[in-house]
Amino acid sequence: MKGNLKVILSGGGTGGHIYPAIAIADEIRRRNPAAEILFVGARDRMEMEKVPQAGYEIEGLWISGIQRKVSLKNLMFPFKLVSSLSKSRKIIRKFQPDVVIGTGGFASGPLLRVAVSQKIPTLIQEQNSFPGITNRILSKQANKICAAYEEVFRFFPKEKTVITGNPVRSDLLKVNEKREEAQRFFHLDRKKKTVLVLGGSLGARRINQLIETWVPKFEKENIQLIWQTGKLYYDEYKKYNSDLVQTYEFLNRMDWAYAAADIIISRAGAGSVSELCVVGKPVLFIPSPNVAEDHQAKNAMSLTKNEAALTLTEEQLEQNFEKEFFGLVNSEVKQKELSENIKKMALPDATARIVDEVENLVGK
């Protein structure tokens, strides 16, 4: 790549769009320390906090998605879109990027639309097996599409789509080497099993309710719990902190959390699924039912059908959680089987392959 490479990355709304973009930026900067990198997000969403924490500048657009149910907020959408297109033009005119990369989410729509209209090379990265509406619209004009699942060929032009996998943060590639360090950080007893519970950065009410119900069983079985309750629920559940239970609003060192865990309970966002494949620990997925196109259930089942993870819907939890989860806790054979099979589905070089495609675009 040339020394003064200029890159804009846009994606946000959820960690599933933000962290892949940060991973791509990190790889670009690793290869080319002189590269200028700018992020563009939705101004009231979590990317405005997480991107600066990762060491990058970000500009915010006044944009949000269309509500699926009838809402007064939808009346504002045309005004937000016009505003975001106008600001995107100003950002691109000022920054003069060599390439624009979108990882999904509201803000990437207007920005990539403007980039395409100005003949700037564009690349979109799709995390899910069923693409979101923003990327489906953008795919018609983007120069290159990097995807994680072959199912996307039903939606994207095959001639410009490549299966790379999802970007994974480099600090997760060797988590097993960090196990002792992680156990010290969380003050864990190495003789006891440790369960990591992840409901996303904001939290998952149903998963938190589930764990609350089973805290006495965890304690009776002498199981250690690292429980990310999420920002919205931490105050409600921090009362359960004990020698065996640790509650966290947010886990800043996910590499240590994964390294410390023996078994993981998680939502099934595309980014989480990709990370968990690389980490290679036994997982029980509880997909969120509140996402467009039922993405999470499709992501989880892509692993479960290959005996690489367990999946329970929220409706199945009351009847099946005890049998499925504690059956896994008590079966070293099942844990080993899931761990070996999920590792087979990992694409640990996804970030590097995506940046290879970026280099190819810029070189044309």
Residue 269 to residue 88: CA distance in whole angstroms: 28
Q: What is the arrangement of strands in the sheet containing 36-42, beginning at the earlier edge strand?
A: 57-61, 36-42, 6-10, 99-102, 122-126, 144-147, 161-163
- State the Cα–Cα distance between residues 292 and 270, nearest whole angstrom: 13
The answer to whether 68 is annotated as binding is no
Sheet with 283-285, strands from edge to edge, namely 245-248, 224-228, 194-198, 263-266, 283-285, 310-311
Cα 101 to chain center, whole Å? 16
Residues 88, 27, 165: CA angle, nearest 5 degrees: 90
- DSSP structural state of residue 67: P
Cβ neighbours around 190 below 10 Å, total: 10
169 is in an annotated binding site: yes
Name the strand (E) or helix (H) holding 361: helix 350-363
Smallest CA-to-CA distance from 108 within 5, 202, 16 is with 16
What is the C-alpha separation between 263 and 230, in angstroms, rounded?
A: 19
Give the C-alpha separation, 325 to 166, whole Å.
27
Flag whether 296 is marked binding: yes
CA separation for the pair 308, 297 (Å, rounded): 14
Nearest in space to 84 (alpha carbons), one of 124, 45, 55? 45
228 is in an annotated binding site: no
Residue with tokens 């795919």: 139
The continuous run of DSSP H or E covering 267 comes out as none
Contact predicate 135/126, CB 8 Å: yes
The span from the CA of 355 to the CA of 40, in Å, is: 19
Contacts of 132 (CB under 8 A, 6+ apart): 104, 126, 292, 293, 295
206 is in an annotated binding site: no
Cα separations (Å) of 316 from 226, 272, 312?
Answer: 23, 21, 6
Annotation-wise, does 304 bind a ligand?
no
Check whether 134 is labelled as a binding-site residue.
Answer: no
| Binding residue numbers for UDP-N-acetyl-alpha-D-glucosamine | 14-16, 128, 169, 201, 296
| Binding residue numbers | 14-16, 128, 169, 201, 296
